[in-house]
Structure 1
């Protein structure tokens, strides 16, 4: 892990949005076969919140978040498999401590809600998660790693199919990629897409905020 250059941390929303532009990824980061979905980017200024009924809602950005971006991709149906969905999210917090709390909240949400409603007709089931600090169980790529997996069920796409989420942190920023599988698409192939996307995000994040020379 490189050292964080705190002088490069954004101090306001405009600086955070500029930083997002250096970190976010496009379809090329995942390799061939992945295309943009429509809509491509989530609405700016909105934040996902898991309510008491384990249903995802959106609200205004919380005070600790300067900016966030979620981009949507897919592997179109073909070659014997259904449509695969992929989301890539980058969130810029005010401080390193606040980005760490985001990971802690993610773990709490899995424990509280192993079943979650994403939207009308879309659900996650049998979720479990794991969090590893830097140095634990060969975690050498992120200050705080979080993984979540389970099953994805959709009225439109069917299921249950594999669902996986991978999140990393460097300084005040978290990056994450989620994958929703499909019939005929192997778990290993889905995992590889999520790892590829998360790795590219972390490389670009470290390039943006690390001290020169490590």
Structure 2
């Protein structure tokens, strides 16, 4: 892990760049629990996404969307304590939780469809090697199960195909899920240029994170986001790329989005923020203690 993370998970130096997380939810017009204001975005990439039931969101000189009407208090899910009795103890229990915590295409927007292949198996794990190339390996000891679903928004209306991945990982305990975020922070410092697979690269990566209570983070125990450029032999580029991860107890959830021609980073942010927030709500409902 090295000294970048420091004691425990520590106040890593990357948190100085944590404004990326605040910007992620400000641009998307989200509440502080990670849910988009006014519900799911109805616009498609390349257009101004206007949440259903709200007025149009203008864009100011700082690039942030003008405030939209927020959801009712019933749409907000506070940070409950984790109910240890609900926490998965076996791989089978973890795989069952995966299915109840991740998102489907309808949760991301009406224009989002499944990709092929759709869902990865729960027994493989991505690892960034010393050469900054992503590999897949068997699950480490601290992970009970993980799964990634693949979606896309078909090309059309002057823009290219947008790719979206949603990942849920169930660790054995909260400490190990926290270390997953710490490793992500270290990886972006170590490898600002990464190879996803042959013919597909991520460039100029930077990121930041906030613990619960820091800046705008009132919706997850630890929030991390990473942005940069996506380049591929198939799709061209560079195009915007963004990835957001959140933690609740032993669970981490993440959304990654790769842009295309005619798609801005702000367009991607709507889907990333909405998907991550939705999965966090589901994780809290599955593992949180009931009120009273």
Query: Which band: TM-score by shorter chain?
Result: over 0.9
- For residues 51-81 of structure 1, the C-alpha deviation after alignment (integer angstroms, 9 at most, x for no partner) is 0000000000000000001000000100110
Shift of 1:129: 1.0
Distance across 2 between alignment mates of 1:28 and 1:122: 27
Partner residue of 2:254? 176
Match of 2:118 in 1: 40
SS at the partner of 1:2? coil
Q: Which residue of the other structure, out of 145, 149, 157, is the alignment partner of 2:235?
A: 157
**Aligned equivalents of 1:8, 1:186: Cα separation in 2:** 40
Give the match for residue 89 of structure 2.
11
2:210 corresponds to which residue? 132
CA distance in 1, matches of 2:135, 2:121: 13
For 1:150 and 1:31, how far apart are their aligned partners in 2?
Answer: 23
1:77 to 139, 155, 174: 155
Residue 123 (structure 1) aligned with residue 215 (structure 2): no
Q: What is the match of residue 94 of structure 1?
A: 172
- Partners of 2:209 and 2:109 lie apart in 1 by 27
Structure 1 ranges of 4+ moved more than 4 A: none
Aligned partners of 1:161, 1:205: CA distance in 2, in Å?
Answer: 31
User: 8 Å contact 2:169–2:251 — kept in the other structure?
Assistant: yes
For residues 91 and 187 of structure 1, the distance between their equivalents in structure 2, rounded to whole angstroms, comes to 25
Query: Comparing both structures, which one devotes a greater share of its residues to strand?
Result: 1
Aligned-pair RMSD on alpha carbons?
0.8
Aligned equivalent of 1:202, options 265, 277, 280: 280
Question: How far did residue 196 of structure 1 move?
Answer: 1.0
* 1:44 Cα deviation after fit: 2.8
Q: Is the 8 A contact 2:242 2:265 kept in 1?
A: no
Aligned residue-pair number: 214
Distance (Å, rounded) in 2 between the aligned partners of 1:125 and 1:188: 18
Give the deviation of 1:187 after TM superposition: 2.0
Residue 211 of structure 1: aligned partner: 289
Structure 2's unaligned 5+ residue stretches are 1-78
Gaps in structure 1 of 5+ consecutive residues? none
Q: Of the two, which has the highest radius of gyration?
A: 2
